[in-house]
């Protein structure tokens, strides 16, 4: 089966050790995790985690089932690529001299990114978007000399009109049965 990136969103209890439990699970079961982002959710005492997991359908099914087994994980959904809004934020510190600054400014403009810090020899650029966009800007900036790159990893959300379609909810633990019938 084809390996590709899958976006999984989990609603988890906001308790000490939860991140450890999740990370330990991924390591122990040998799941490949491309990125992980955690933050508060709209509900008190619950956080939301976005994972990007590499693997085939069977692997991703195991990931969601194993995540669901964790007591502190309340709900797990796999988001279908075409029906989600996915964003990542990156900070890029790039070498810049008075001579080439304006060239960089133009690129930043085109990518609708922001300059958030200027010093004599470098700039910090803040860019938000899908991973491809960030990678594209990064590649364009590389010739100037990247001093530091920091990416947050993907966060994702199902589009409003298509929630039913995009969220292949795995929270109903009987879910496996509906999908896997003969």
Partner 1 sequence: MKLTGAQIVCESLLREGVDVAFGLPGGAILPLYGALPQYPQLRHILVRHEQGAAMAADGYARATGRVGVCFATSGPGATNLATGIACAYMDSVPVVIITGQVPRPAIGKDAFQETDITGITLPITKHNYLVMQASEISTAIKEAFHIASTGRPGPVLVDIPKDVLLDEKAEFFYPDSVDLRGYKPTLDGHPSQIQKAAKLIAKAERPLILAGHGVILSRAYEEAMELAEKAQIPVITTLLGISSFPTDHFLNVGMPGMHGMAYASIAINEADLLISLGMRFDDRVTGRISGFAPNAKVIHVDVDPSEISKNVKATVPIVGDLKRVLRAMLPQIQPAVHTEWVQRIEQLRQEHPSMRIRETEKLLPQYVLRTLSEVTEGKAIIVTGVGQHQMWAAQHYGFKEPNSLITSGGLGAMGFEVPAAIGAKVGKPDRPVWSIAGDGGFQMTLCDLATAVENNIGVKYAIINNNFLGMVRQWQDFFYNKEYTATSYTHNPDFVKLAEAYGIPGMRVTDKTQVETSIRWAMETPGPVIVDFMVEPEENVYPMIPSGGSVNELLEEPWQEESSPIGEARGR
Compare residues 54 and 66 and give the one whose CB is closer to partner 1.
66
Compare residues 10 and 37 and give the one whose CB is closer to partner 1.
10
User: For residues 17 and 19, what is the distance between their CA atoms, to the nearest angstrom?
Assistant: 6
Residue 32, token pair as written in the block: 């490949």
Angle 135-55-175 from CA coordinates, rounded to 5° = 120
Closest approach of partner 1 to the CB of residue 55, in Å: 14
Q: Which residue in 80, 93, 81 sits closest to 126, CA to CA?
A: 93
Closest approach of partner 1 to the CB of residue 19, in Å: 12
Closest approach of partner 1 to the CB of residue 11, in Å: 9
Strand partners, 38: 49
Return the residue matching tokens 């594209």.
136
Residues forming contacts to partner 1 in the complex (CB under 8 A) are: 12-13, 16-17, 20-21, 24-25, 28, 58, 61-62, 65-66, 68-75, 172-178, 180-182
């Amino acid at each position: 089966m084809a390996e590709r990136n899958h976006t999984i969103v989990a609603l988890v209890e906001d308790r000490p050790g939860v991140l450890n439990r999740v990370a330990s699970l991924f390591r122990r079961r040998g799941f490949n995790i491309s990125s992980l982002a955690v933050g508060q959710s709209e509900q008190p005492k619950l956080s939301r985690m976005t994972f990007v997991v590499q693997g085939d359908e069977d692997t991703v099914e195991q990931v969601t089932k194993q995540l669901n087994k964790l007591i502190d994980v309340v709900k797990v959904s796999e988001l279908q690529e075409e029906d989600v809004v996915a964003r990542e934020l990156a900070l890029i510190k790039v070498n810049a001299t008075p001579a080439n600054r304006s060239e960089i400014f133009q690129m930043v403009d085109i990518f609708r990114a922001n300059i958030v810090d200027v010093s004599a020899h470098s700039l910090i650029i803040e860019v938000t978007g899908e991973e491809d966009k960030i990678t594209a800007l990064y590649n364009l900036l590389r010739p100037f000399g990247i001093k530091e790159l920091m990416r947050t990893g993907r966060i994702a959300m199902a589009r409003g009109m298509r929630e039913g379609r995009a969220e292949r909810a795995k929270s109903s633990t009987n879910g496996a049965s509906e999908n896997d019938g003969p």
